[in-house]
Structure 1
Amino acid sequence: MTQEVNLSEWTKVDSAFDFALSLPEGDQTGWIDRHFAGEPELRMRTRLLLERAMAADRLFEDLGRRRDTVFANLLPDTRTGDKDAADVRIGRHYGPWKVIRRIGAGGLAEVYEVERDDGRYDQKAALKIMRASLLGADALDLFKRERRVLASLDHPGLIRIIDGGETATGAPWLVMEHVDGVPINVWCEGLANSASLELMAQAADALQAAHARLILHGDIKPDHVVVVAESGSIKLLDFGIAQLLDDNGTGAAALAVTPAIASPEQRAGIPMTTASDIYQLGLILQQILASGTAEPRHAAVVRMALGSGTSAQYASAAELAADLRNLAAERPVMALPDSRMESAVRVIRNNRMAATLALTAVLGLIGWGVSASIYAGEIERQRNAAVAATDRAERGRAMLLNLFRRADPLELDAAGPQPAGTLKMLDSALEDARLNLSQDPELVADLIGWTARAHHRADDLPGAQALAADSAAMILRRSGSQSSNYVSALAFQGYLQTLGDDAAGGRNTVERAMSLLGGIAVPDRHVLDALLALAWSHEGDWERQRVLFTRAMVLAQQLGQISAQVEAGAGLGRSLTGLGEHDAAQIQLDQALALAMAKYGSGHPRLALVFSDLGRLAKDRGQPELAIRHHRKALELSIEAFGPGYSRNISHRNNLATALAETDRIGEAVAQFRLLLGQTSEKSGPNSLEAGEVLQNLGAAQVQAGQFAAAESALGRADAIFAAHLPDGHPRRAFPSLTRAEMRIAQSRFAEAQADAVRALSILTVAFPQGHFATEVARCRVGIALIGQGRPALARPFVQTASRTLAASTTPVLPRYIEPCRRAALGL
């Protein structure tokens, strides 16, 4: 039975744990066993602390490698071949800067050589442009912060910003001085120690200049500390994850880290201080001095920079710079104080506030007893760091999951990889995760779910359905049916089913998710995702969709989820439009648009959804010109973000072409429908149902344009495709005949027009509710065809009934459908 450990015994455990951490990894457990040979309880507790710390480090580093693997797979391979040949940014302009060639890429951004191209003066520089595909809003904030940070710095050892802006899709960019430098560890190979130490001192000077402006770098490694070949001076680069410190010198926990150089603060997931930067600079110093003379003072400076073992850490980068120059000049160094004071110095220098006081005054006031108390508090912090392994693991999991989530094609920069390529790389990364992260099935299930979403965005519905079902099943086994995560996964699975051939099965899945959702006591982000998926699953059931989107909007506001508020607002506007509540729909869509523009900017592709729904609303309100503007904007945003061949452009182009066809801009409508037919045929096949629907709309536009021969061909092909795909009596089977009747009337071929109109009327009367405008248009055309044949008595009931019903319709009906019928009725 385990005995309770008292305070004095904990002190022994803490001291042993602290000392064990300073030993080489292979010697730690042996030393603990020998030290507590007669105290098995304390030996067990100390070894447990050590094992948890080591396990946390291993997991953190493993997740870091997984993250790096995913980055490598998701980013285009530019290491071989002609990397500039296929790069669409080469030759583009960003402000007055023209892109010349690609220099390199990292996890968050890509870097290009640019030159000034506005004729004012000649200058070459470096363009850094954000990769919006991977880390989304957090990374965008980081990148914009880097611009602000660089703009506030003025030191010869720090990179200088020249210009900045954003692309049409909201991806930020900055132009900075172009530095042709060599990583400091490479430059120092074979260099005398004194010269290497002076360069490291310059790096510490540059770091101190940043710290003086309350700026923490957070990612100092050899590639970011370079020596300029021409001058032999230091430049500190890449403030990509920099932080602004508060007045006490404290920042936030690290959002992103490089595992190999992660400081203790970054590994523990606690708020960072300048100690993190000094630690990382110490790692570079350790590497540079590793091959040099093993001089004790050198080792002491390295230990003090790292704050390792029983060494204090430098309170500032300026102190480190001073000791480095003292080393180079063979003068005494701060890193080797009087041994009697060593422990107190370590405590004081690890306390950022105490470090501002005079060392002699502090020692005179606090005494050795207080020093020992602070030392015990430091050991408590280290023990808490080991116990916090779970939190560090969660942060690592979140980093990896975030990469998959931000690989959603909607987040891609305009020049990023196209969805098909993204899918291939995502699938490869997912397989790696399945093999190597099997001990964390919940994480794997989430990665599968986000990969399913990426497949759905790219219109790979079968692939998305299979992945969504796999994710839901895995979460069910892991968390049970009452978890919000499972309900979210199940709702998304059902939504995808409703889009495919298993609509009935999809409805059953959706209803099961609806039932389980009622048992979730605490709404969270998973519940929000479930509500949105369930709402989209009820497209056409406007009232139920309105209720679900309303619940989603309320929860999104409570959780502060802006993107979900935009989606729920657009969905609410759509459902209210379907219910005929146009004023309420306008309010929702205007609010969604304002929110999206504030969050993403005016050129982001996420706005396309809102503009598309605004176009539908304008059409229903009888505002065709406004509908055209909205649909054109949605299409332009999509093309700008993803290129002209992106499959999601099809729905936007169809909406635009239809809106154009409802005005007198028939030529434009025909041109858009022709483009749409080419896209649809390439995507779904020339004889697909989708191609048939475009042919029907193209034929209708050609009839309006008087292009009867072309319309005859288009309507004939649509008729054949509908017959092959749709059952007898389906309402779509009526529309080629209905449109052909209009054309025959215009050609004065009234008997043929009557036959076509009668066929359409017989289908629509059964398929649609009484008074539907399409049914009444067919009825009217039967009457007009009879009038054309000189049979007004037979025509009268058809024309008069249709004219009255169309005039009384509560749904806006275009004048081109009403006016022919009204004129025919007046002529009888």
Structure 2
Amino acid sequence: MELSAAQWGEAKSLFDAALDWPVADRAGRIAAGTRDPAVVAEVESLLAAAAATQSFFDRRPRLAAQTLLPDLPAGTRVGSWQVVRAIGHGGMGTVYEAARAEGGFAQRAALKIIAIDASAYLDRFEDERAIVARLEHPSIARLYDGGLDDDGHPFMAMEFVDGVPVVDFARGLSLRRRLALFIEVCDAVAHAHRNLVVHLDIKPSNVLVTDRGAVRLLDFGAARALTAGLPAGAATPMLTPVYAAPEQLAHEPVTTATDVYALGVLFHQLVTGTLPAETAASAGPDAARPPPRPATDAGRHHDLRGDLAAIVATALQLDPAARYANADALAADIGSHLRGEPIAVRRDQRLYVAGRLLYRFRWAAIAGALVVVALAGGIVATGIEARRAIAERDHFEAEVARTDAAMDYFALMFHTAADAGGDAPVTAEQVLEKSVANLDRSFGGDPAKYGRVVEFLANLYSEMTDESAGVALEARYLASAAARADPATANRVRLMLAQSRLRSGDVEVAARELTVAQAWWMRHSPRYRGELARSRIVEGQIRKARHDIAGAIAVLRLGLAETAAPAAGVPPEDVSNIKNSLALALMANGDFDAADGFMADVRAYRERQGRTDDNLLTAIQNQGAIALARGNLPRAVDLLHRSINTRKAVMGPSGALAAAELNLARALLLEGHAPGAAAVARDATDVALRYTGPKSVLTLGGRMLLAAAAVESRA
């Protein structure tokens, strides 16, 4: 538990007094001196640490003034330790790697020995020992032992950290990993700040990282307890100028904001590989040269911009009051940046806050776009397939009906074209539009023929992905006397209308139309089991649009079972269509293995047909969507490119093309190719707007992806 300033002051007073009490009396007198169990625990911890130093301060140093200690050779005994090698030299002395020479167990330590007149540094050494003893944190090197060697030189044995300076370790790491590593450094410094300790010498050589990526903060030789502080005008001992805050260089009082300045310098090095311009002039040996820039993005250094520039600028303010108050506040802003949230020092900028909120939710937007594309892909692809399956070639009577309808329509079309007359050429679109307008006049007296032609034209509009024209034709027919006279055909057209409405985003209207059609088929079962089974595709899509994925899966499994019922008469094409929709629903539910299995069946069936058509391309496209959902980006990009290129070459633009392009845009964005993703998403949005309208899930998904790509490019 971390103590408040008042608690620490009480604990320090009790500890100082307890050092003069007989050991046997200490427990009772400490309990009598305070009612705060946290203070009692702290005093007991300090007493234990003092005992572990083997009466470090009980003996007076026997050194003459300015006595120098030469480097100790390997094998020299210092207390319970044996010197292995010298590993560093400082203003007060030398640090050695040492091994425990007694106690029956192996232990490595960093042995710090004062090499000159101990009397001048004894108080500072005592402060360091007391400070380190009270800081218990996994990222702060621990104190093992302390005392005087045989010649009276004070020493401390610290945890030996086999690591490299943090700026060296960070080379080759991604920016996100560097920021996460720096947060660990801040956490160690923040622990000291919460215990009212300032380090005052934060620099790369005092922040090591092990080969396992563990941070260790070292060397509290310059540290001070804020309860004691430094008087104005007093020099901060052993500072490193390039990392020192202005108040240190001016010999002014220090605070936790003093450490924040040094952290700001270190942060700049980690991100850019260089020192800030304002400190580079005073660079010393600890100021690492910028490392060579690796070829990979993961290892490259970044320019400071946006949030990172604001964070560094705040940490390096000349006025301590304008900086982050402590390491916790600095780490909090870096964490906010990593999460895409507004950082504290920029929250007064409205445009910035809005941008960060968009950045924060960009992946949710992209993920939402995938779900939308999966829905839309199912609607566009399986909707077309279901409509085509009405005239399944495996059923002779349906094929004859389709052929008759086509012949009837072509007769109408040629008659309309002849009536147009004149010298001006007549386009196919104009002929189609005028032919539809002549339906009532040409087939009003023959409801069966009227219905067959409407089905044929509705399928034609579907192929063209002309939703508004298809809806107008279907609604007009359903309001006619011909539809009332031929309810079987009328309900097949009603299913088409439900799909058209669903593709346009009118979910509730689609649901009402579907309910009417299904009710009629159920009343006249078993003759219409095939129609009822096919309708489960649209029912499942409606449930998915209402975010009822489990319900969609149940409905589609029901449809699959209905196709297997005796005398159902459902052609293999329809079974394949239902499997396609079931695979998409399973993908939306996260069951990628089952989804991939069903989609593989769909693709295999369509490849057996021996032709490259919309059915096969849809299967390939949906396999790409499943690979994308599974995180297999290379496979997703390959499958989606194959589907898109063939669609463009053979069939031209359509809603199905827009669906494939949106999935490809998402895959490219996840791979880090924001410009390429933006280009694909822009084309997809234009196609979706033209063929499915402004309210369709494809158009909305495209706009979401365009926004996400723009934010990612600026981040």
Instruction: Please report the TM-score for the alignment, with normalisation by the length of structure 2.
Output: 0.36
Instruction: Please report the TM-score for the alignment, with normalisation by the length of structure 1.
Output: 0.31
